[in-house]
Structure 1
C-alpha cells in the first residue's frame, strides 16, 4: 500500500504513540542504476536536522591540548591518547565514531589498535576525513551528520526521527538526494551511474512508502 509522506508519518506516530520522539529513526533506501564491480558511492552528509543525536564520538588527540578542550566542548564522549588505546585494547569500545588529530596519527598507528577498530569501521583515515587538523568541525560533522555507503547498488541512510515533522523530513531528504547526486557527478565520465528509484522509507525496518512520494519534493 502506498501513502503520501504526510499520511504515512501521521499513521506511524499514531502507531508508535508513547515512544520517545528520538527512539526510532526513518531509514531511506535508494536504488542506483550502476555497472557491476564499479566504484561504490560512499560519503557523509550533514543534514539540516540532526538524526543521530545520540552518536558517541571518540577523539584521539593530546589530552592536555587545545584540541582536547575543543573536542569536549563540541560533544565528544571520549578524548585522549593512551587512555583511548588502553580502553580499545581492553575491549571497551564505547563509541560510535572515531576521529584522530594529525598530531596523534603516528601514535595511533603505533598503538596496534587498527585490528580492533578497522573491522568496526572506526579506524580514522585521511581518506574518510577522520584524520584532521580541525577537531571542532569534525566532531560537529560526526554528531550532526549521517554516513552512507552503496552496497549492492543500494544506499541506505537514516534521514529522520519519529518526532520529526514532514517539513523536517522533506528538508533532510532533499539534502540527502542532493548529496548522492553530487557524489555521482564527481565520478569519472566513463562510469555510468544514476539514481534509479526510492526503494522504501521505513521505521524499524517496516516498509512504509514507495518511490511515488518523491514527486512531493
Structure 2
C-alpha cells in the first residue's frame, strides 16, 4: 500500500506507525535482565577460605619437591660444573612480601668474597661540624640542600646516601620521588638518617648491600666452584644469618621479642642453590 504513496506520505505514515507501536517486555525477560545485572560479590569469609585453599594446595605441591642438604647440593653442582671451575654458585632466597612490610635489605661482609667488591660512593647531606666529620670518615660528596638539584639531574651519583635529621625535611620534597624507587632515599628506619654520620660510614666500610626485589626474591653470587666446600658453606651460612636478622627470623629476635608482643616477621619460603649450568636445588637445612 505504501508503494502507491508519495515519499512524503510514506515518511509520515511510517512515523505514525512507529510512534503508536508500544514496546514491552515480559516478566520472564525482565527477571532475567535483573538477574544478569546483579554481580555476585564474594564475602570476605569466602575470599579468605579461597586463599587458604590455594595456600594449602601450593604447600602440598611444595612438599612433593625434592630437597637436598647443603653439602649434597654443593656436591651435585660441583659434579655438573666439573669443567667450569670459575663458575659461581648463586643463592636464591624467596621471602613473602605482605602489605605494610618493608622489602628485606641489609649489608654483609662475606668471609670470602665471590667477586671483587665495588667501592661504595657515599653522598652525605650535612652541614657544619657533621659535614667535616663525614669528609674525614671517607664520604665522597658532602653538602647541604644545594646538592639536591645535582642528584635530581644525575650529576651526583652515589650508591649510599646519608642525611642528618636537621636536613631531611629540606631534601625530601624533591628527592623522595627520585630516590625512593631506587631504594636510596635516607630514612630513619634504615639508619641512613642519623647524627652519627662518621660512625655509620665506618660500620659499612668493607661490606656490600643486598636487597630483595618487589616480589621478595633475593639473588646473590655466593661463592666460586673453585672454593673449598668449607668456604662455600661459611659464605652461605653467613649470608642466610644476615637475611634472617633482616626478616626477623633469627633466634636472637625471638629472645628479644619474647614477652614484648608480636613483631612483624617476613617469612622465608624457600632457599635454592644453583650454578650457571647446574639445576636449581632446594635446600632442606637452611
Shorter-normalised TM range: 0.5 to 0.7
Residue 74 of structure 1, aligned match among 126, 137, 144: 137
- Match of 2:139, SS? coil
SS of equivalent to 2:106:
strand
Deviation at 1:61, TM superposition (A): 0.8
Long gaps (5+) in structure 2: 1-72, 255-260
Is contact 1:101–1:133 with CA below 8 Å preserved after alignment? yes
CA–CA separation in structure 2 for the residues paired with 1:162 and 1:57: 33
Tell me how far apart the structure 2 counterparts of residues 163 and 57 of structure 1 sit (CA, whole Å). Answer: 33
Map 1:95-174; keep pairs closer than 5 Å. Answer: 95-109=158-172, 112-143=174-205, 144-149=207-212, 151-157=214-220, 159=222, 169-174=232-237
Match status 1:53 vs 2:118 = yes
The 10-residue stretch of structure 1 (120-129 or 2-11) with the greater mean CA deviation from structure 2:
2-11
User: Which of 248, 251, 257 is matched with 1:184 structurally?
Assistant: 248
TM-score, normalising length from structure 2? 0.53
Q: How big is the shift at 1:127?
A: 1.8
CA contact (8 A) 1:70 1:136 kept: yes
Higher relative contact order (CA 8 A, sep 6+): 1
How far apart are 1:140 and its partner, in Å? Answer: 3.5
Check conservation: 1:99, 1:130, Cα contact below 8 A: yes
Q: Is 1:87 matched with 2:150?
A: yes
Q: Structure 1 residues 82 and 152 mapped into 2: Cα distance closer, same or farther (>3 Å)? A: closer
CA RMSD of aligned residues (A): 4.1
Q: Does residue 199 of the first structure (1) align with residue 272 of the second (2)?
A: yes
Task: Provide the rounded CA distance (Å) in 1 between the counterparts of 2:227 and 2:143.
Answer: 35
CA contact 1:52–1:145 (8 Å) conserved in 2: yes
Query: Alpha-carbon deviation of 1:5?
Result: 8.9
Which structure dedicates a bigger proportion of its chain to helix? 2
Q: TM-score, normalised by structure 1?
A: 0.66
Total equivalences in the alignment: 199
